[in-house]
Amino acid sequence: MKRIGWGILGCGWIATEAIAPAIGWSGNGRLVAVASRDPQTAADKAKETGAARAYAPYEALLDDPDVDAVYIGLPNGMHEEWALRCAEAGKHVLCEKSLALTVDAALRMTRAFRERRLRLVEAFMYRHHPQWAVVRDLLDAGAIGRVRIVRGSFCSRFDKASNHRWSASLGGGALWDLTCYSINAARYITRAEPQSVAALAGTDTPEGVDATSQASLAFEGGVTVAATGSLQSGFDQDFVVIGEEGVLRLSRPFAPGWTPTQVALTRRLETERRIDVGGANHFLHQVEHFASLVLAPERDAWPAEDGLLNVAACQAVAESWRTGTVVPVPDLRYQP
């Protein structure tokens, strides 16, 4: 099987402890290089991950002809710059969420890759866990009837002294790091887009970011979505889909780990039924899926526009909490 050559920009935990091993295990990719701002860090991480080459600064990786695709594992505020540099260098990009911090930035990125016939995909790894295929199949089969309400939560605690999530200049905050998951998942399982947003957020932190954010989104078809995220709470993840005939619940929706999971299904007043889902490495499935898109240009799966639409929803959330008003979400599905 043909394999694409991967490069990794940034040496954070996800990049080196999750993405790099996944590339090594994949059947259609190989890890060529890692890049850091610091030469010693790059060398150390290349040795740890089995990458053939180490680069510092980041630009050097883009000159490597053996690198076909780049995983951008940098903080949110750096995504646009380095994605555009990758496009100019002719590299496909799997970009860590959130794709960008504004619709304008996401549009620039989307167009740059489309013009060059390159792949740009936002890295929401949770989608690649098989439990979500179970959820979509159940919904398509009418297991809970017409979906009316979706609730999602993803919360954790991060150290202010050392974590980029608390930096406004690096695109930190709960919205762009955690609340965005529930918004994305609601879009994924409903196959619909939000039309308007009403949001609350803790924006009075000294760091200038939202420590906690909550949003209510009105989706097409009358679905109401509640999304919550926090950088200053105990770890929590939950996702509930309420239909006219029943309820689906995922207790480990976004960080399922490698062990088996369950999807809980309750219809009307019946006893809850639990559907077992085998353990999986969603990072491995993610990098193999992306490589398959690079190797098959004719496939139209999860294009850059999907990330653009999530950015549009999140930007509306941010505008809503700044203005205290209900904010419409622009429909960007058919942007030229």
Cα 118 to Cα 91: distance, rounded to the nearest angstrom: 7
Q: Is the dihedral of CA 315, 316, 321, 323 positive or negative?
A: positive
Q: Dig out the tokens for 44 from the structure.
A: 């150390």
Q: Which residues lie closer than 8 Å to 13 by C-beta, 6 or more apart? A: none
Cα 21 to Cα 24: distance, rounded to the nearest angstrom: 5
Our answer to whether residue 160 is catalytic in this structure is no
* 8-state DSSP, 102: S
Q: Which residues lie closer than 8 Å to 159 by C-beta, 6 or more apart? A: none
Longest dimension (CA), the chain: 61
Q: Pick from 132, 133, 128: which is nearest to 286 by CA?
A: 128
Cα 307 to Cα 314: distance, rounded to the nearest angstrom: 11
On whether the CB atoms of residues 182 and 227 are closer than 8 A, the answer is: yes
Q: Dig out the tokens for 238 from the structure.
A: 């939950």
On whether the CB atoms of residues 165 and 173 are closer than 8 A, the answer is: yes
Catalytic residues: 97
